[in-house]
Amino acid sequence: MSDPRPGAVLRGAVDLSTLRSRAAAPASPTGHAPASGSPSLVFDVTDATFGQVLELSRTVPVVVDLWAEWCGPCKQLSPVLEKVVTELDGRLVLAKVDVDANPQLAQGFRAQSIPMVVALVAGQPVPLFTGAVPEEQVREVFGQLLQLAAQQGVTGVVPRGEGGEAYASASEPDEPALPPLHQEAFDAIEAGDYARAVTAYEAALAENPRDDQARAGLGQVRLLDRVQHLDLQEARAAAAAAPRDVDAQFAVADLDLAGGHVDDAFERLLDLFAELPADERAPVRERLLELFGLVGDADARVIRARGRLASLLF
């Protein structure tokens, strides 16, 4: 696994909590038949039903396979994933995402190449691997994933024949209706209109400055809005050419955080902070604090970065 920790892709690359579906049932498999004998352990997921998969991941680790019908390596890898998941007897489940049919999830996971395999543990994404890999490597990575899940207290097992019921149970809308401005933001995110979602969350905070969900959603959707049109290679080239250009460094830090390279994002901004004159540092400190909030104050990477920031300040 490239960074086997919850939140490695983001409590940041996509606002996972806002992707909760309101009353959608699990999609029927299309194009990929579930592994024989365990249809409940392998299922398709869509932009609309992804929220239920997040909830399911609080009970059992969910492996997410991002694929497309035209992708040859995907067709090689998918049967291997299904086989290994099936043999693990419900300790993992496999959610399949057709990236062509579900652009919001493809963008949220920044699936620049496929097949791409990530996991969800307790609602947080964990990057696993990209490309078709050998079965032995899949088994090794899944073993590491189960160890990580155990550390997070996610040790549920989906019995054969009952996984469908577990997923259906997770799909039932047992939460109260969202407040109007939150609902507006949710709808805007579903439509890919992040600027409108930002406006809705800002309005919610104006009404109630203690609305922590709106504050978290605002930070996450601002990140989505900033990175959606960026090209990683172009951004890195611009940052390398102008190491003290704040906007150029911000762009790469945003992309790094969205792509799961949390330490890299923090180190880039901390290095920039250290290089700038004292009277030019405020925007960098503000962006760092914003990114800290996205990853979570209790995260070890945030704690380390805060420590370095404090040492630079005093």
Which of 1, 63, 71, 141 is an active site residue? 71
Most confident of 218-227, 245-254, 289-298: 245-254
Q: What is the average pLDDT across 257-265? A: 83
pLDDT tens sequence across 110-134: 777 888 999 999 888 888 988 888 8
Q: What is the average pLDDT across 74-103? A: 91
pLDDT(1) > 80: no
Measured CA to CA, the distance from residue 24 to residue 172 in angstroms comes to 8
Q: What single-letter DSSP state applies at residue 26?
A: P
**Of 91 and 104, which is predicted with more confidence?**
91
Instruction: Give the pLDDT of residue 160.
Output: 58
**Please, which residues have CB within 8 angstroms of residue 75's CB and are 6 or more apart in sequence?**
none
Instruction: Give the pLDDT of residue 50.
Output: 84
- Beta strand residue intervals within the chain, DSSP E: 42-44, 62-67, 93-98, 116-121, 124-130
Mean pLDDT of the chain: 80
Measured CA to CA, the distance from residue 18 to residue 221 in angstroms comes to 10
pLDDT(6) > 80: no
Residue 93, helix vs strand vs coil: strand
Task: Please say if 71 is a catalytic residue.
Answer: yes
Instruction: Give the pLDDT of residue 80.
Output: 93
pLDDT class of 27 with cuts at 50, 70, 90: very low
pLDDT tens sequence across 131-177: 888 898 999 999 989 988 888 788 888 875 544 444 444 444 444 56
The label of the residue with tokens 């299309």 reads 30
Using an 8 Å Cβ cutoff, are 114 and 81 in contact? Answer: no
Using an 8 Å Cβ cutoff, are 14 and 185 in contact? Answer: no
Using an 8 Å Cβ cutoff, are 43 and 26 in contact? Answer: yes
Q: What single-letter DSSP state applies at residue 175?
A: S
Task: Please say if 74 is a catalytic residue.
Answer: yes
**Please, which residues have CB within 8 angstroms of residue 246's CB and are 6 or more apart in sequence?**
272, 276, 280, 283, 284
Q: What is the average pLDDT across 283-294? A: 92
Instruction: Give the pLDDT of residue 228.
Output: 81
Please compute, for residue 233, the number of CA atoms within 13 A of its CA located in the half-sphere on the CB side.
1
Q: Which pTM does this prediction carry? A: 0.50
pLDDT tens sequence across 167-214: 444 444 444 567 899 889 888 877 778 889 999 999 999 999 988 778
